[in-house]
Structure 1
Amino acid sequence: MKHFARLLFITLTLLRFGVDEIALGRVRQPWLRALARLIAIGRSYDEPRGPRLRQALERLGPIFIKFGQVLSTRRDLLPADIANELALLQDRVPPFDGAAARALVEAGLLNELGRKFDDVFDSFDNTPIASASIAQVHFATLKGGREVAVKVLRPNVLQAIESDLAILHTVARWVERVSVDGKRLRPRDVVAEFDTYLHDELDLIREAANAAQLRRNMASLDLIMVPEMLWDFCTSRVMVMERMYGVPISQVDRLRQAGVDIPKLARDGVTIFFTQVFRDGFFHADMHPGNIQVSIAPETFGRYIALDFGIIGTLTESDKDYLAQNFIAFFRRDYKRVAELHIESGWVPPDTRLEALESAVRAVCEPHFDRPLKDISLGQVLLRLFQTSRRFNVEIQPQLVLLQKTLLNVEGLGRQLDPELDLWSTAQPFLERWMNQQIGWRGFLDRLKDEAPRYAHYIPALPRLVHQALSIAARKVEDELAPASAAQVTALLKEQRRTNRLLQAMLWVAVGFVVGLCAVRLLSPYVLR
């Protein structure tokens, strides 16, 4: 009954703001157009469709707001008036009372850290600088004068999310049970993945830890800045971080006037994304324009500023290797290799005809190469691939759902910054360089040096261990020789000789490995130049 009430509320809200007309007004099926006209009888609206859609999503809560945030980056798929309104959801969701936010900060400091508010903050601005679906941000000044940003969770946000997630789980079970594609699409796994990431986003200690990890990862890449977390003042509902100064990336005209190289900025964004995904396997998975700024300060001019680390994606080494090989095969138009990878990974049944899958992938991807980003819709490519995947029973991989979402966000940002950006040619050199580091000579040397401290601990003990093994084997032979027959003695001696040869070979391999390590240390400065 509780879920039914929420479903009824969602339906009535969509009807109240005329979302049904927006969704069904331009469909091709005549019966759906007729249904939309029938439902619209007797209704009229004082506001245009863009504000109505935004207000409906705001009214429905955090999950629907996040959906609107993703849609706002796809200006190639949405009319401009709708995209402009949905962009307001990125950091302009209606805020909750500033005094309530201050009270939450006071309670968190006192209950979780044993600190008084006035002992920590010199000032606290009750007017939020940004307000999103899960939390809002206030500027403050610590005792001693350091300027910080304070993120505070919305009151009762957990209850609102739990209600909608329960509905999503129910719908996913229903779809998996009745839909022909239900088992292949794995909707329950996808919703479970979404559930996990949303709950992670509700724990600000976890978000602060994500930010700290991303800051360490990106320290060597002089293209992006991540704020420092001030751990002495962070709690599960309040996060205090270094205040960053930048221009929202959506304000392209302002950035251009400041002298920022916009095409370079677009290319840098692609580099940052692929570095996080393929080098680190740890990437910012909520890269809508409200979470990205650009520094115009002289010492950090033109560098990205990342904000909001509640949703972070991770990939295993096998995921990264599989994806990189797929991307490189796409860039080289090696569609046979793409088909082979799908079969090798188990994403398609092993009896799938390689030639048929290769032909299908070629038909989807070939028309989109050698064209600028403004002429390519990755959304349309994904739609075609989805249609193809149904034919070949491709299983959707839940661990890659966040990556797909982030790739769409990156495309939206790239399109907004530089419509001429060629996403494929920008990414290809990076991926080929990464693959060379993984499977080439340099990758071998790097892994050898990484393992050297571990082997250096065991190798000096090998002669002693070999001697002990030989002694134990000799005593065992002596014990067994006395009552044994001549044939048994001969067999035992042969076994002993085989064991000795094996142990000697192991010893020589160990000695050779030590010599190899010494050679690597001596030669690596010259090989890696």
Structure 2
Amino acid sequence: MSRLLRLFRIGFVVCRYRLDEFLHLVRLPLPLKILLWLAPWHLFPRPRLTRGERLRMALEELGPIFIKFGQLLSTRRDLMPDDIANALRQLQDQVPPFPGDQARAIVERDLRAPVTELFDYFEAEPMASASVAQVHAARLPGGQEVVVKVIRPGIDKTIRQDIALMYLMAELLQRYWEDGHRLRPVEVVSDYEQTIFDELDLQREAANASQLRRNFDQSSLIYIPEVFWDYISARVLVMERIHGIPVADVEALNAAGVNLKVLAEKGVEIFFTQVFRDSFFHADMHPGNIFVNAENPQDPRYIAIDFGIVGTLTPEDQSYLARNLLAFFKRDYRQVAVLHIQSGWVPATTRVNEFEAAIRTVCEPIFEKPLRDISFGQFLLRLFQTARRFDMTVQPQLVLLQKTLLNVEGLGRQLYPDLDLWQTAHPFLENWMKRRIGPQGLFKAFEQQLPTWLEQAPEMPQMLHDAIGQLRALDRFNQSQESGISRLRQDLRRNESGRRRYWIATLCFVAAWLGSDQATLSWLQQLPLQSWLLAAIGIYLILPRRTDS
């Protein structure tokens, strides 16, 4: 019943904000079009707002789960028109906090001890509240200042209900939207489902934070707070409390004397280090999750929080991405097209020349700008939009990467408008490629594989013997197959020859009959000699042949 009420609620919001405008994107059967024409939204006046603003306000009214889904869609500019994507980026995840007593009860139930034993101090009033969780300040018995993140009670039930409705709408879109099969809205909802349920598991977030902390241990680029594993559960996360200047507060950074050029370039270096060195990157690097340690203003250091969403790339994706970026800045558009086909991002049947021409049309105007004005994020966005016309399938790992790059680039340009992203990224990419395919990379691969080879060395003679035996068996199998194919060909030839003899015989009989004198009663006795000859030839052809087996 609650799901039905929720569906009615969604229908009311759709009517109120006249979201029927989006239905022109969908090809519906005539009876359904008639029903929609009679739908009640025509009773509501159309608000004097853009379609993007109306969609944003509708999602905010539907609640936190739809808000987060809209925030995800705002990063999918390969799916959304620019005006809608820009409007969805303004979605605010502002949710009233739940009572501190409930947070205490969840902590005590999950950690199996009273809050007074777990902490010297626990602030009942939350520091921040979001759709999935809220954060409280606390202090451990040893005096360590920490934050306690607690999952909102009952949120999993709400998420399941709303996602079930999202699946319903996605299935309708996939069935009736002309781009539905290629853009796979059901898979988009599935990715969102996985993302949001990953955020509900704070043990996973703690593991992500620990991995990033190891990756940047003793680094001057970024600091990752410490996780206290004795205080971790699926619904409770206790982490070191950090103090820093919010990265979006440019006035405070200037007041602290922070070198914004160095800070912006460090942000780019952090991104490429995570993507290409570690293949493990913080995929939610919006300004609310990034702070700055300004103790050394000329060498500032980032501080990151909220590790619920991370991204990874396979070695193949890493290589293709790096080679794509390098080819792009060398204006080698054919190489970009070939790499897209080799990677499987576009179908293998794509014509390279046509794809190359389309990429050139999109990318050439970009190079009319100074390098410092070239946006990597916009380049990837335009590249993906161009590839849409060539049936590029959705690549979730690249979507997260594009979202992160847009955040990092936008943040860097906000800090330092003259940021030359290419100047920072180019040496990094070239050095990474050299390390990957040069002597250093080969030696590293050999070093990594050597223990496995040594472990398998005693088994190699038997494995070699088995492999030779399998090759011999395969050879015998191929020979038997060739023999069978040869017999089949002979049978086909005999059948073809038999069919030819049958038709020739038939024609001969017809010719003999037509050549007979049917005027007399004893026509068989009066057949001309040539008719008898033709009939004899026909009978001879019909008779079975002896063939060698």
* Counterpart position of 1:226: 224
Q: Would the aligned equivalents of 2:262 and 2:299 in 1 still touch at CA under 8 Å?
A: no
Question: TM-score with structure 2 length normalisation?
Answer: 0.71
After superposition, residues 254-265 of structure 1 pair within 5 angstroms as: 254-265=252-263
How far off its partner does 1:301 sit?
Answer: 5.9
**In 2 relative to 1, CA 158–124 (structure 1 residues): closer, same or farther, beyond 3 Å?**
same
* Counterpart position of 1:61: 64
- State the AA in 2 paired with 1:324: A
* Farther off after superposition, 125-134 or 53-62: 53-62
- Select the residue among 392, 403, 406 that pairs with 1:405: 403
* Counterpart position of 2:238: 240
> In structure 1, what is the Cα distance between the partners aligned to 2:252 and 2:97?
26
**In 2 relative to 1, CA 93–446 (structure 1 residues): closer, same or farther, beyond 3 Å?**
same
* Counterpart position of 1:104: 106
Give the secondary structure class of the aligned counterpart of 1:304: strand
* Counterpart position of 1:6: 6
- State the AA in 1 paired with 2:70: F
* Counterpart position of 1:133: 131
**In 2 relative to 1, CA 349–144 (structure 1 residues): closer, same or farther, beyond 3 Å?**
closer
How far off its partner does 1:320 sit?
Answer: 1.5
**In 2 relative to 1, CA 467–214 (structure 1 residues): closer, same or farther, beyond 3 Å?**
closer
How far off its partner does 1:281 sit?
Answer: 1.4
- State the AA in 2 paired with 1:437: R
* Counterpart position of 2:500: none
Q: Would the aligned equivalents of 1:249 and 1:294 in 2 still touch at CA under 8 Å?
A: yes
* Counterpart position of 2:184: 186
> In structure 2, what is the Cα distance between the partners aligned to 1:134 and 1:301?
35
- Greater radius of gyration (CA): 2
> In structure 2, what is the Cα distance between the partners aligned to 1:42 and 1:368?
38
Give the secondary structure class of the aligned counterpart of 1:294: strand
> In structure 2, what is the Cα distance between the partners aligned to 1:166 and 1:330?
41
Q: Does 1:176 align with 2:178?
A: no
**In 2 relative to 1, CA 468–363 (structure 1 residues): closer, same or farther, beyond 3 Å?**
closer
Unaligned runs of 5+ in 2: 23-40, 469-549
How far off its partner does 1:229 sit?
Answer: 0.7
> In structure 2, what is the Cα distance between the partners aligned to 1:239 and 1:201?
12
> In structure 2, what is the Cα distance between the partners aligned to 1:319 and 1:60?
36
* Counterpart position of 1:491: none
Give the secondary structure class of the aligned counterpart of 1:133: coil
Instruction: Deviation per CA, 1:212-266: give whole Å up to 9, x if none.
Output: 1111112264201111110101111000011111111111110121111112211
After superposition, residues 140-289 of structure 1 pair within 5 angstroms as: 140-219=138-217, 221-289=219-287
> In structure 1, what is the Cα distance between the partners aligned to 2:136 and 2:219?
29
Percent identity, aligned pairs only, is: 48
Q: Does 1:360 align with 2:384?
A: no
**In 2 relative to 1, CA 409–310 (structure 1 residues): closer, same or farther, beyond 3 Å?**
same
Q: Would the aligned equivalents of 1:190 and 1:401 in 2 still touch at CA under 8 Å?
A: no
Q: Does 1:326 align with 2:324?
A: yes
Question: TM-score with structure 1 length normalisation?
Answer: 0.73
* Counterpart position of 2:512: none
How far off its partner does 1:316 sit?
Answer: 1.5
Root-mean-square deviation (CA, aligned residues, Å) is: 3.9
**In 2 relative to 1, CA 285–354 (structure 1 residues): closer, same or farther, beyond 3 Å?**
same
> In structure 2, what is the Cα distance between the partners aligned to 1:187 and 1:377?
28
Instruction: Deviation per CA, 1:290-326: give whole Å up to 9, x if none.
Output: 1111112359961111101111112222221222222
Instruction: Deviation per CA, 1:113-150: give whole Å up to 9, x if none.
Output: xx332111111112222222211111101112111111
Give the secondary structure class of the aligned counterpart of 1:161: helix
**In 2 relative to 1, CA 324–209 (structure 1 residues): closer, same or farther, beyond 3 Å?**
same
Q: Would the aligned equivalents of 2:56 and 2:88 in 1 still touch at CA under 8 Å?
A: no
How far off its partner does 1:71 sit?
Answer: 5.4
**In 2 relative to 1, CA 466–85 (structure 1 residues): closer, same or farther, beyond 3 Å?**
closer
> In structure 2, what is the Cα distance between the partners aligned to 1:365 and 1:269?
25
* Counterpart position of 1:338: 336
> In structure 1, what is the Cα distance between the partners aligned to 2:436 and 2:393?
27
**In 2 relative to 1, CA 84–194 (structure 1 residues): closer, same or farther, beyond 3 Å?**
closer
Greater relative contact order structure (CA < 8 Å, 6+ sep): 1
* Counterpart position of 2:540: none
How far off its partner does 1:438 sit?
Answer: 0.8
Give the secondary structure class of the aligned counterpart of 2:389: helix
Q: Would the aligned equivalents of 2:210 and 2:226 in 1 still touch at CA under 8 Å?
A: yes
> In structure 1, what is the Cα distance between the partners aligned to 2:127 and 2:2?
35
